[in-house]
Structure 1
Amino acid sequence: MQARKYYSRTPITEAVIDIRVELLPEVQPDVLVQVQSSIQAEYPELENMFILEGLMMVGDSVGARANQSQIGYRFVSSDQKQILQTRLDGFTFSRLAPYECWEKFRDEAKRLWSIYESLTNPKTIVRLAVRYINRLDIPLPVGDLKDYLRTFPEVSADLPQGLSGYFMQLQIPQDNLGAIIVLNETIVPPPVPDIVSVLLDIDIFKERNTPNNEVEIWGFLEQLHKLADEVFEACITERTRELIN
Structure 2
Amino acid sequence: MQARKHYSRAPVTEALIDIQVQLPQEVKLDILAQVYSSIQTEYSKREEMFVLQGEMTAAGASVGATASQSQIGYMAFSNEQKQILQVRLNGFTFSRLAPYDCWETFRDEAKRLWSIYQSLTYPAAITRLAVRYINRLDIPLPVSDLKNYLRTFPEVSSDLPQGLSGYFMQLQIPQEQLETMLVLNQALVPPPAPNFISILLDLDLFLERDIPKDEIKLWEIVEQMHEQKNNAFEACITEQTRELIK
Query: Under a length normalisation based on structure 1, what TM-score does the superposition of the two structures give?
Result: 0.98
Look up the match of 1:21: 21
Q: What is the deviation of 1:2?
A: 2.6
1:161 corresponds to which residue?
A: 162
Structure 2 unaligned spans of 5+: none
Paired position in structure 1 for 2:7 = 7
Output the CA distance in 2 between the equivalents of 1:42 and 1:110.
15
CA distance in 1, matches of 2:148, 2:160: 19
User: By how many angstroms is 1:206 displaced?
Assistant: 0.2
Q: Distance in 2 between matches of 1:5 and 1:192?
A: 28
Please tell me whether residue 105 in structure 1 is matched to residue 99 in structure 2: no
Structure 2 counterparts to residues 59-138 of structure 1, below 5 A: 59-60=59-60, 61-138=62-139
- Match of residue 144 from structure 1: 145
Quote the offset at 1:19 in angstroms.
Answer: 0.6
Q: How far apart are 1:63 and its partner, in Å?
A: 1.1
Which deviates more from structure 2 when the two are superposed, residues 27-36 or residues 183-192? Answer: 27-36
2:198 is aligned with 1:202: no
Tell whether the 8 Å contact from 1:52 to 1:67 is kept in structure 2 after alignment: yes
Identical-pair percentage: 67
The C-alpha deviation readout for 1:26-70, integer Å capped at 9, x for no partner, is: 111121111122111100000000000001111142111111100
Partner of 1:224: 225
Kept after mapping to 2: 8 A contact 1:4/1:232: no
Report the 3-state secondary structure (helix = DSSP H, G, I; strand = E; otherwise coil) of the residue aligned with 2:178.
coil
CA-CA distance at 1:212 after TM superposition:
2.0
Matches of 2:202 and 2:215, distance apart in 1: 27
**Aligned mates of 1:54, 1:186 — CA distance in 2:** 31
Q: In 2, Cα distance between the equivalents of 1:5 and 1:152? A: 24
1:177 is matched with 178
Aligned to 2:51: 51
Asked if the contact 1:133–1:202 (Cα under 8 Å) also holds between the matched residues in 2, the reply is yes
Q: What amino acid does structure 1 have at the position aligned with 2:29?
A: P
Stretch of structure 1 that moved more, 129-138 or 27-36? 27-36
Q: Please give the root-mean-square deviation of Cα atoms over the aligned residues, in Å.
A: 0.9
CA contact (8 A) 1:190 1:197 kept: yes
Which runs of 5 or more structure 1 residues have no equivalent in the other structure?
none
Provide TM-score, normalisation by structure 2: 0.97
* Bigger mean CA deviation after superposition, 117-126 or 26-35: 26-35
How far is the alpha carbon of 1:5 from its aligned partner? 3.8
- Per the alignment, residue 243 of structure 2 pairs with 242
CA deviations over 1:190-209 (Å, ceiling 9, x no partner) = 11111100000000000011
Tell me how far 1:176 sits from its aligned partner: 2.2
Post-superposition offset of 1:22? 0.4
Letter of the 1:205 partner, please give it.
F
Amino acid aligned to 2:222: L
Q: Report the equivalent of 1:193.
A: 194
Distance (Å, rounded) in 1 between the aligned partners of 2:26 and 2:177? 37
1:146 counterpart letter in structure 2 = K
- Please give the alpha-carbon distance, in whole angstroms, between the structure 2 residues aligned to 1:143 and 1:192: 18
Amino acid at match of 2:66: R
Distance in 2 (CA, whole Å) between partners of 1:59 and 1:25 is 36
Counterpart residue type for residue 56 of structure 2: M
Q: Does the 8 Å contact 1:140/1:195 carry over to 2?
A: yes
